Amino acid sequence: MTILPKLYTVRQLKKFRDNLVKQLEQAKDGYKSSLTFSKTTLDDNTILQEGDKFQLMIIGGSNYKSALGDLRQGQLSVKESQQCKLPKFHKDSDLGKFFVKALKDDIDVVAINYAYPIESFRRGDILDGKLIRGTKGNLFSGLVGKNVGAYLEDYTLKKTNRK
């Protein structure tokens, strides 16, 4: 797996180092750190198969975005997209209800960009994340410290009998 997607200049690397040191120093002094919002590097493996219909969901902050697409002849194609304001997620079930309502019919694969502090890990072939804490008034009571993807899978199966 490639750690750096391209070659960086010395100036860019120094800026990255300086920002990292600043975040570590602020975290040490008790300030909230943006380190939990670092990007997760994805590998080239995919669970998408030829002909699969997928839904991309961006859940985070105050906005929700969704796009529908499919994989045909090795090419990803996005068919439609939408955007709306997110409700506050006080409890784990608030997120579950929102997810089930937003989930479109006839979808084979869902990809979620979950823009809250998580600790990413692999669960078999699936990239999942353990919620570290809620932010911006979203408490996620009952979900902190748990696997977000596994929770949404279980919730969806219980409420809709969809896997």
Could you tell me the CATH number of the domain that includes residue 145?
3.30.420.40
Beta bridge partners of residue 131, listed in sequence order: 118
- Contact (Cβ atoms closer than 8 angstroms) between residue 77 and residue 69: yes
Residue at 33 is within a domain: no
- Does residue 85 lie within any of the structural domains? yes
Token code pair at residue 112:
């979620």
In-domain check, residue 22: no
At 92-108, the pLDDT tens digits run: 999 999 999 999 999 99
Task: Please give the residue range of the domain that contains residue 132.
Answer: 48-160
Q: What is the pTM of this model?
A: 0.74
Give the model's confidence band at 5: pLDDT under 50 very low, under 70 low, under 90 confident, else very high. very low
Q: Is 10 domain-assigned?
A: no
Number of domains observed in the structure of the chain:
1
